């Protein structure tokens, strides 16, 4: 992270920032006073950056327990006259949606920006949602940046807009901006207000009475969008071929037009304000265009908006609309599936203009096709070397097999979602939303009346526990649902980059915070709690097994820090004794390598035995216990600097 | 050695609920594990042949083959198997008497084998009688004494055997139920292991209890405090710890381990010596000396004053045979009915006929 | 070649999650930016850090800010942290004048571990790279990092080799200040050592014909 660059006071300087850092910087330039978020890729680094500098800049930043709480806190700041930002990934908006639809009716006071990061292609998500539909349902304005630099510029503008119309403004971000890095021109930093105060005469109420007010405010936003600096047309004045693009689609579009040599023929309309549509601006281009191509990420949102605008025009020419709805813009899995790429843009504009682009060149592709190599094996996602989750799943799976009643494991959202795949031994059978494991388990648990006799194990992570599992756990306890909740506590929010949570004893800004241990919460609910170290496999298996034999709602915490946490120092590493490992002739059938599949346990084909990759091994020692031959032992590593 | 793979073991034994819980298949690999007296593959093993299959007494069992291989003689007694001596016996040690189930013959012989240097370790079944017992590897007299007393469930006592065979070269003793004795003889079919079992002591077993027994005990608070459980000839199951509580046998029967219903061997026919109750005098044991090795051990123990024996009262032999005959005939009836749970047995027509006809003294 | 007037450069850093792509791309982009270039980096992290293939696209131009992703077929340099990933990226993104710097130490994919795939013969992998690329430098980045005191610093060793290859429009010294700003004392020591070993290695091997460098 370029925290240094975030702090630079000098306007005009050009630095390299990630999209997320740029948004953080934009907020600081706008006089941000309050920031709250729940981590979620690809949005997490915004709050992480803000929190890191919050103390010195005199504003407040927190990791909230979930997105709804985060948005509520930010709204409070707005009501007190403090500019606020709340940040979440698309899935998080679903959680906050109830509040956001209410907030739209009640309105805001000081500028409030809601950043929602979509993850087209679901690089780090279980689904690829297009947030714009939800935001439109709530009646809030949507901005979309096309570059990292623009993301920074957009934020102060969004605060101004929010204050002008009395509504929060949504900045819809996507992975290719959030996690991109680019040159950004810094503006001046603005300190936050020091006069936070709730006007005793003010009221912010969600009443149907305000529905017309909300519509009026949206019309006001539309009017301002007509002249917004983020909407731009480039190309010949009366181009018959028009590309309408937003987000990273715009850079792909301009680059493709250039690569195809179509600058003289194709116009590109860049939209940075995508809802409500700046109708006059768009309509003015529909008058000259005969073919309109849309480049946007995930669903044909703009495409539909523009088409319906065209349908409302009284005088309209014959226009052909090309996009996802018409399947002209499609990746390998089809339109509206996966992220937009330069290749998709090039292909679509080539088709639009009847041009061709020779990529690779000079027979490169032919040579590549002729390589005398078998298919390159893909790289499936896997738990890291030393990851406690691998050990936890081995324990859960073993205990369930030993129990023999065909127990069901319901999963949740985090690194440990990989429990549905090979390195989690395909143990997890359901995955939905944050905290859903416990709700589902609670439901399964109550089916005994209807003949259900399988034990049920819910698996959630530590951060997920606080986020949304607690209400479901209360439900299970209240309704006496027999389930075993296993909390895979790796002492951090690992998937999104190691953010603290209420159990860690650290605040977002790194200050000490009173730790709220998971066991204290569960015991407070009157539940029996056992705590085990998953790296001690035998004990962990026994605990799961034992708890499966008892009635009622039970909690097991499998606690061991994430192998990637900087504080998890590597003190040991495993070595295979080639004299003891009997290789293929062992009854284990290459267990450590083929089944347990820690990435550090590789197969040495020449010696015909297992070998530990010393670069990867984290020294967790689980393989030492599992090898039936005792062929693996731990060695101390020399102290490593850093 | 019997040939077959883990998938066959799973299909024929484990998922058919025919596992005796002997433990012989465990400790070889990371796939087969046990907890709470259940044995299960925690992950499917893709080998097509495995030791697990070869040693299991329930993948297949051929009494004639075992007679030939282990005892080297044709069967002497269709019900009691072959033996050299049929005796009553008891330990001469007060400590052992205080702890043993009956006469303490088993504990006395095991301790003697260790102390005389015949073996350097003994694989036994430790723990109390009202919660899951655990396998123990005893290396001194105290540890042997600590494992005295009958635990009526199917402890996988043999779990440590694979490790002992692999990690050391010592000779050791094993005390096991009849199924465990049969399993050990399967282990011994591998010539590498043939010399390693210096004393195989079998205890009589007409059935062992399933894990649900301990839930039953837990549900009846007073029973959990028992330090000894016995099934005396007077009837019922007696839990004692100073005071005694008797539970009708009918309340215990539902907890009999399913595999035991089809077991044809209540007296550990292939042990070096087999030890049971006398069904008459709880200070003594029935002792069946079967092999030369067993004979030598008993003789040496007697000579050293560790054990006292006396001839088996002739009038009680028919009673013993009748009890065994009853069990064998029930199982053979199941074979005749085609009960799939008996498919592991290969009983020759002659043996079958002999069991059904019975000896003259058996009613 | 250092100092050649390069207006646009597309670099793809190819590796496996956990190898430190993001750090390497950030340092490279920052160094280019400080030398007056506009830069753009396309990155995926998150789930793919867990054993998946990872790519960082580092793009630079004098005039405009390029988009975050290099269009396929337009990469100039592949900086490969792992040979299989290097070949994968080269076949997808390469062109005839693409140059390649590769750490030949394999990291086996899960599919190979569990026996559902075969890892290509290491020699054949390097041969394939040579058959496609205009130039291939094989740098034992992990071994250099080990010498520097931390095997995981192969990313800095490889980046050092790129800086020393002469394929960048900026001098290797440009990186000094970037490294100093980025790392605290201990990390700076190992990372700088790895980076320097990389530079030395590149200048050593780039004098011998690429076909003998492996
Ligand atoms: C499950 C079970 C059922 C039995 N049923 C009968 C029966 O119906 N009729 C009969 O005459 N005898 C039966 N016995 C044998 C009897 O209870 C005594 O164990 C035997 O007579 C030896 O007596 P002892 O005085 O020598 O015992 P001790 O000197 O007390 O020695 C007992 C030995 O048995 C071993 N042992 C204890 N529990 C187990 C177990 N669960 N599995 C394997 N080994 C164990 C101990 O390690 C110890 O070595 C049964 C034994 C068991 C374990
Ligand atoms: S100790 Fe074993 S299981 Fe743990 S990281 Fe090293 S090789 Fe993997
Ligand atoms: S009977 Fe014994 S060998 Fe067979 S499966 Fe059961 S424990 Fe294993």
B138-155, pLDDT tens digit by residue?
999 999 999 999 999 999
> Measured between alpha carbons, how far is A388 from A385 in angstroms, rounded to an integer?
9
Question: How far is B181 from B290, CA to CA, in rounded Å?
Answer: 13
List all residues 6 or more positions away from C63 whose beta carbon is below 8 Å from its beta carbon: C7, C38
- Bridge partners (DSSP) of residue A85 are A35, A113
Task: Give the DSSP H/E element, type plus range, for residue A520.
Answer: helix A518-524
Residue A592 near ligand 2, beta carbon < 6 Å:
no
Tell me the ligand closest to B102's alpha carbon: 1
Which one-letter DSSP state was computed for residue A380? -
Residues B28, A595: C-beta atoms closer than 8 Å: no
The Cα A418–Cα B325 span in angstroms is 57
pLDDT band at C208 (very low <50, low <70, confident <90, very high): very low
C-beta A621 within 6 A of ligand 2: yes
Across the interface, do B50 and A401 touch by the CB < 8 Å criterion?
Answer: no
Q: How far apart are CA A458 and CA A470, in angstroms?
A: 13
* Mean pLDDT across A494-503: 89
pLDDT of C214 reads 34
C123 contact A CB<8A: no
Instruction: Flag if B35 and A628 touch (Cβ within 8 Å).
Output: no
Chain B interface test: which of A402, A403, A585 (most B C-beta within 10 Å): A402
Q: Over 60: is that where the pLDDT of B261 sits?
A: yes
Residues of B in contact with A399 (CB under 8 A): 35
pLDDT reading at A538 higher than 90: yes
Separation of alpha carbons A222 and A217, rounded Å: 9
Most confident region among B27-31, C7-11, C196-200 by mean pLDDT: C196-200
Residues B156-170, mean pLDDT to the nearest whole number: 95
Q: In this complex, how many residue pairs, one in chain A and one in chain C, have their CB atoms less than 8 Å apart?
A: 221
* CB-CB neighbors (< 8 A) of A626 in chain B: 30
CA distance A636 to A570: 9
pLDDT of A373: 81
- SS3 (DSSP) at A491: coil
In ligand 3, the atom with minimum distance to the C-alpha of B56 is: 3
Say yes or no: A599 contacts chain C, CB-CB below 8 A: yes
* Mean pLDDT value across residues A32-61: 96
- Mean pLDDT calculated for residue range A346-369: 89
- Element (H or E) spanning A350, and its range? helix A342-353
Ligand 2 binding pocket includes A235 (Cβ within 6 Å)? no
Q: CB-based contact (8 Å) between B74 and chain A? A: no
Q: How far is A315 from chain C (nearest CA, A)?
A: 37
Over residues C48-56, mean pLDDT: 85
**pLDDT for position A199:** 96
**Residue A294 and residue A271: Cα distance in Å, rounded?**
11
A641 falls in which pLDDT band (50, 70, 90)? very low
Helix (H) or strand (E) holding A37: strand A34-37
Distance (Å, rounded) from C-alpha B62 to C-alpha A148?
78
d(CA A316, CA C96): 48
Q: Is the peptide bond before A276 cis (omega within 30 degrees of 0)?
A: yes
**Which residues make beta-bridge pairs with A575?**
A633
Contacts of A450 (CB under 8 A, 6+ apart): none
Q: Which residues contact A18 (CB under 8 A, 6 or more apart)?
A: A1, A2, A45, A148, A178, A179, A180, A181, C43
Q: Which residues of C touch A149 (CB under 8 A)?
A: 65
Interface of B with A in 155-174 (CB under 8 A): 166-167
Atom of ligand 2 lying closest to residue A619 CA: 1
Helix (H, G, I), strand (E, B) or coil at B99: helix
Query: Quick count: other Cβ atoms within 10 Å of Cβ A314?
Result: 4
Mean pLDDT, chain C, rounded, equals: 90
Whether pLDDT at A413 is above 60: yes
- Report the separation in Å between the CA atom of A387 and the middle of ligand 2, taken as the mean of its atom positions: 9
* Angle formed at CA A526 by CA A520 and CA A528, multiple of 5 degrees: 75
Q: Is A388 close to ligand 2, i.e. is its CB under 6 Å away? A: no
- Please write the tens of the pLDDT for every residue from B12-24: 999 999 999 999 9
Query: C155: closest CA among C24, C16, C11?
Result: C24
Shortest distance between the Cα of A373 and any Cα of chain B, in A, equals 29
pLDDT of the residue at C209: 43
Residue pLDDT, tens place only, B322-338: 999 999 999 999 999 99
**Tokens read off for A199:** 């006007």
**Distance between CA atoms of residues A285 and C96, nearest Å:** 41
Paired tokens of A581: 């490992």
B170, B120 contact by CB (below 8 A):
yes
CATH architecture of the region A2-191+206-225: 3-Layer(aba) Sandwich (3.40)
Strand positions, DSSP E, A560-608? 572-576, 601-604
Q: How many CA atoms lie within 13 A of A528 on its CB side?
A: 14
Instruction: Please give the C-alpha separations between residue B308 and each of A189, B271, B291, B301, in angstroms, as whole numbers.
Output: 98, 20, 19, 8
Separation CA B146–CA B140 (nearest Å):
10
In sequence order, what are the residues at sequence separation of 6 or more whose Cβ sits closer than 8 angstroms to the Cβ of residue B243? Answer: none
For residue A303, the model assigns a pLDDT of 97
Q: CB within 6 Å of ligand 1 — which residues? A: B 100-107, 110, 124-125, 133, 147-153, 155, 157, 175-177, 203-206, 208, 275-277, 285
If contacts are CB pairs under 8 Å, which of residues 172-191 in chain A contact chain C?
175-177, 179-183
Question: Which ligand number lies closest to the CA of residue B287?
Answer: 1
Residue A515, both tokens: 């730790």
Q: How far apart are CA A262 and CA C82, in angstroms?
A: 38
The C-alpha angle with vertex A125 and arms to A122 and A129, in degrees rounded to 5, equals 65
Q: Is A326 helix (H, G, I), strand (E, B) or coil?
A: coil
What is the strand order of the sheet C38-43 is part of? A14-18, A181-185, C38-43, C53-61, C8-16, C77-80, C99-102, C135-138
Top-tier CATH class for A388-559: alpha beta
- Classify C8-204 by CATH class: alpha beta
Residues A319-324 have a mean pLDDT of: 96
Q: Are A74 and A85 in contact (CB under 8 A)?
A: yes
Q: pTM of the full predicted structure?
A: 0.93
What is the pLDDT at residue A642? 33
Share of chain A above pLDDT 70, in %: 99
Q: What is the pLDDT of residue C45?
A: 65
Confirm if A165 and A30 have CB atoms less than 8 A apart: no
Count residue pairs from A and B with Cβ separation < 8 A. 58
Q: Which two tokens stand for residue A211?
A: 């529905």
The whole-number average pLDDT for the span A220-229 is: 98
Residue B231 has pLDDT above 50, yes or no: yes
Domain boundaries of chain A, sorted by first residue: 2-191+206-225, 232-353, 388-559, 569-641
* Of A83-87, A482-486, B193-197, the least confident: B193-197
Q: Among the listed ranges A431-435, B232-236, B280-284, C129-133, which one has the minimum average pLDDT value?
A: B232-236
Q: What is the pLDDT of residues A599-617, one digit of tens each?
A: 999 998 888 899 999 999 9
B132 touching A (Cβ < 8 Å)? no
Residues A520-525, mean pLDDT to the nearest whole number: 97
**Does residue A324 register a pLDDT over 90?**
yes
CA A496 to chain centre: 7
Confidence of residue A375 (pLDDT cuts 50, 70, 90): confident
Sign of CA dihedral A215, A216, A217, A222: positive
Higher pLDDT: C211 or A487? It is A487
- How far apart CA C62 and CA C79 sit, in angstroms, is 21
pLDDT at B359: 57
CATH 3.30.70.20 fits A569-641, yes or no: yes
- Residue of B4, B29, B54, B58 to test ligand 3 pocket, by largest number of atoms within 8 Å of CB: B58
SS (H, E, C) A250-310: HHHHHHHHHHCCCCCCEEEEECCEEECCCHHHHHHHHCCCCEEEEECCCCCHHHHHHHHHH
pLDDT tens by residue, C7-32:
789 999 999 998 999 999 999 999 99
* pLDDT tens digits, B85-96: 999 999 999 999
- Report residue A176 as tokens: 């290719």
Q: Give the span between the Cα atoms of A108 and A102, in whole angstroms.
A: 11
pLDDT exceeds cutoff 60 at C211:
no
CB of B30 within 8 Å of a chain A CB? The answer is yes
Look at A402 and B51 and tell me if their CB atoms are within 8 Å.
no
Name residues whose C-beta falls within 8 Å of residue A48's C-beta, 6 or more positions apart in sequence.
A1, A39, A497, A499, A508
The token duo for A33 is 């006073």
Chain B positions in Cβ-Cβ contact with residue A610 (cut-off 8 Å): none
Look at residue A14 and give its three-state secondary structure: strand
Which amino acid residue places its CA nearest to atom 8 of ligand 3?
A: B25
Q: What is the pLDDT of residue A118?
A: 98
Adjacent-strand bridge partners of A576? A632
Q: Quick one: CATH architecture of A232-353?
A: 3-Layer(aba) Sandwich (3.40)
Average predicted confidence (pLDDT) for chain B:
95
Q: Residue C4 pLDDT more than 50?
A: no
**What pLDDT band is residue B362 in, cutting at 50, 70 and 90?**
low
Answer whether residue A152 shows pLDDT above 50.
yes
CA distance A46 to A36: 10
Task: Give the ligand at the shortest distance from the Cα of B100.
Answer: 1
Q: Residue A497: which pLDDT band, with cuts at 50, 70 and 90?
A: confident
Report the mean per-residue pLDDT for chain A: 94
Residue C5, pLDDT > 60, answer no
Give B166-214 pLDDT, tens digit per residue. Answer: 989 999 999 999 999 999 999 999 999 999 999 999 999 999 999 999 9
Best of B10, B30, B53, B55 to disrupt the A interface (most A CBs within 10 Å) is B30
Interchain proximity A402–B34, CB inside 8 Å: yes
Does B36 contact chain A (CB < 8 Å)?
A: yes
Q: Is the peptide bond before A335 cis (omega within 30 degrees of 0)?
A: no
Domains (range + CATH), chain B = 64-210+256-325 (3.40.640)
């Amino acid at each position: 992270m370029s925290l240094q660059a975030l702090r630079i006071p000098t306007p005009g300087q050009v630095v390299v920032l990630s999209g997320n850092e740029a948004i953080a910087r934009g907020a600081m330039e706008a006089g941000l006073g309050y920031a709250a978020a729940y981590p979620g890729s690809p949005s997490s680094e915004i709050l992480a950056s803000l929190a890191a500098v919050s103390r010195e800049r005199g504003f407040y930043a927190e990791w909230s327990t979930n997105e709804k709480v985060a948005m509520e806190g930010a709204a409070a700041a707005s009501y007190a006259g403090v500019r606020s930002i709340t940040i979440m990934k698309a899935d998080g908006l679903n959680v906050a949606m109830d509040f956001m639809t209410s907030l739209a009716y009640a309105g805001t006071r000081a500028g409030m920006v809601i950043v929602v990061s979509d993850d087209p292609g679901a690089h780090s998500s279980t689904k690829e949602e297009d947030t714009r539909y939800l935001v439109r349902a709530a009646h809030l304005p949507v901005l979309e940046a096309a570059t990292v630099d623009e993301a920074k510029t957009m934020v102060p503008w969004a605060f101004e807009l929010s204050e002008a119309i009395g509504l929060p403004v949504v900045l819809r971000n996507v992975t290719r901006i959030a996690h991109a890095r680019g040159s950004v021109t810094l503006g001046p930093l603005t300190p936050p207000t020091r006069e936070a105060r709730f006007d005793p005469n003010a009221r912010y109420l969600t009443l149907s009475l305000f529905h017309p007010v909300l519509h009026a405010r949206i019309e006001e936003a539309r009017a301002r969008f007509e002249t917004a600096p983020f909407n731009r047309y480039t190309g010949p004045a009366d181009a018959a071929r028009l590309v309408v693009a937003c987000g990273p689609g715009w850079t792909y579009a301009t680059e493709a037009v250039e690569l195809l040599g179509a600058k003289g023929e194709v116009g590109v309309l860049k939209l940075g304000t995508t809802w409500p549509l700046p109708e006059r601006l768009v309509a003015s281009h529909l008058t000259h265009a005969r073919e309109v191509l849309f480049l946007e990420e995930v669903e044909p949102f703009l495409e539909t908006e523009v088409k319906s605008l065209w349908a409302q025009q009284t005088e309209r020419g014959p226009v052909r609309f090309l996009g996802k709805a018409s399947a002209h813009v499609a990746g390998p899995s089809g339109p509206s599936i996966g992220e937009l790429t330069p290749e998709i843009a090039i292909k679509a504009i080539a088709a639009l203009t009847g041009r061709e682009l020779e990529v690779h060149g000079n027979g490169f592709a032919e040579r590549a096709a002729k390589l005398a190599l078998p298919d390159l094996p893909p790289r499936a996602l896997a738990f890291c070397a030393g990851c406690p989750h691998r050990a936890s799943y081995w324990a859960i799976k073993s205990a369930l097999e030993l129990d023999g009643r065909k127990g069901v494991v319901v999963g949740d959202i985090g690194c440990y979602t990989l429990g549905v795949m090979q390195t989690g031994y395909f143990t997890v059978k359901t995955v939905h939303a944050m905290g859903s494991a416990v709700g589902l388990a609670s439901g399964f648990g109550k089916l005994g009346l209807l003949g259900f006799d399988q034990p049920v194990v819910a698996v959630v992570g530590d951060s997920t526990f606080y986020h949304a599992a607690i209400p479901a756990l209360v439900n299970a306890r209240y309704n006496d649902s027999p389930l075993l909740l296993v909390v895979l506590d790796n002492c951090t929010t690992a998937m999104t980059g190691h953010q603290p949570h209420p159990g860690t004893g650290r605040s977002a800004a790194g200050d000490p915070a009173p730790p709220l241990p998971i066991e204290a919460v569960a015991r407070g609910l009157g539940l029996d709690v056992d705590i085990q170290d998953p790296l001690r496999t035998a004990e962990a298996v026994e605990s799961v097994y034992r708890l499966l034999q008892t009635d009622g709602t039970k909690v097991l915490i499998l606690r061991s820090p994430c192998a990637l946490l900087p504080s998890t120092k590597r003190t040991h590493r495993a070595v295979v004794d080639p004299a003891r490992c009997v290789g293929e002739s062992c009854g284990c059938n290459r267990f450590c390598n083929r089944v347990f599949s820690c990435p550090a346990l590789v197969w040495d084909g020449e010696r015909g035995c297992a070998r530990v990759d010393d670069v990867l091994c984290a020294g967790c020692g689980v393989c030492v216990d599992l090898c039936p031959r005792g062929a693996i032992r731990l060695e101390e590593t020399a102290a490593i600097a850093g | 050695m019997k040939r077959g793979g883990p998938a066959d073991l799973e299909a024929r034994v484990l998922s058919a609920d025919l596992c005796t819980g002997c433990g012989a298949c465990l400790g070889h690999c990371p796939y087969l594990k046990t907890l709470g007296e259940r044995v299960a593959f925690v992950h499917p093993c893709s080998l097509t042949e495995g030791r697990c299959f070869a040693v299991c007494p329930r993948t297949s069992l051929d009494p004639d083959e075992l007679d030939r291989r282990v005892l080297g003689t044709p069967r002497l007694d269709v019900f009691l198997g072959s033996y050299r001596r049929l005796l009553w016996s008891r330990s001469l040690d007060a400590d052992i008497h205080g702890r043993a189930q009956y006469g303490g013959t088993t504990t006395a012989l095991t301790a003697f084998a260790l102390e005389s240097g015949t073996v350097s370790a003994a694989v036994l079944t430790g723990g109390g009688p009202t919660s899951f017992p655990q396998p123990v590897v005893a290396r001194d007299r105290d540890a042997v004494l600590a494992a005295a007393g009958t635990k009526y469930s199917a402890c996988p006592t043999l779990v440590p055997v694979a490790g002992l065979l692999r990690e050391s070269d010592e000779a050791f003793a094993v005390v096991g139920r009849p199924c465990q004795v049969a399993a050990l003889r399967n282990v011994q079919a591998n010539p590498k292991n043939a010399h390693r079992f210096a004393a195989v002591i079998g205890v009589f077993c007409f059935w062992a209890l399933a894990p649900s027994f301990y839930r039953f005990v837990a549900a009846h608070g007073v029973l959990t405090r028992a330090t000894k459980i016995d099934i005396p000839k007077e009837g019922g199951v007696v839990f004692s710890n100073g005071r005694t509580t008797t539970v009708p046998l009918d309340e215990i029967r539902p907890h009999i381990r399913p595999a035991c219903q089809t077991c044809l061997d209540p007296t550990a026919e292939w042990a070096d010596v087999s030890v049971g109750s006398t069904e008459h005098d709880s200070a003594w044991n029935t002792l069946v000396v079967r092999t030369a090795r067993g004979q030598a051990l008993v003789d040496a123990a007697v000579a050293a004053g560790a054990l006292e024996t006396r001839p088996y009262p002739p009038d009680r032999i028919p009673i013993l045979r009748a009890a065994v005959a009853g069990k064998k005939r029930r199982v053979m009836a199941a074979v005749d009915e085609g009960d799939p749970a008996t498919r592991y047995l290969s009983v020759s027509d002659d043996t079958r006929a002999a069991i059904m006809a019975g000896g003259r003294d058996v009613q | 070649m250092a100092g050649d007037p390069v207006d646009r450069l597309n670099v793809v850093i190819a590796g496996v999650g956990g190898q430190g792509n993001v750090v390497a791309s950030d340092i490279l982009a920052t160094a280019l930016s400080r030398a007056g270039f506009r830069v753009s980096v396309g990155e995926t992290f998150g789930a793919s850090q867990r054993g998946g293939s990872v790519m960082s696209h580092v793009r630079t131009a004098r005039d405009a800010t390029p988009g975050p992703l290099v269009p396929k077929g337009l990469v100039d340099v592949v900086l490969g942290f792992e040979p299989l990933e290097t070949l994968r990226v080269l076949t997808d993104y390469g062109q005839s004048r693409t140059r390649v710097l590769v750490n030949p130490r394999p990291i086996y994919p899960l599919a190979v571990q569990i026996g559902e795939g075969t890892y290509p013969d290491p020699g054949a992998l390097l041969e394939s790279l040579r058959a496609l690329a205009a130039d291939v430098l094989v740098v034992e980045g992990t071994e250099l990092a080990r010498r520097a005191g931390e095997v995981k610093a192969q990313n800095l060793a490889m980046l050092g080799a790129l800086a020393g290859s002469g394929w960048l429009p900026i001098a290797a010294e440009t990186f000094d200040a970037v490294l100093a700003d980025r790392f605290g004392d201990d990390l700076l020591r190992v990372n700088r050592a790895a980076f320097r070993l990389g530079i030395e290695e590149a200048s050593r091997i780039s004098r011998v014909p690429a076909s003998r460098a492996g």
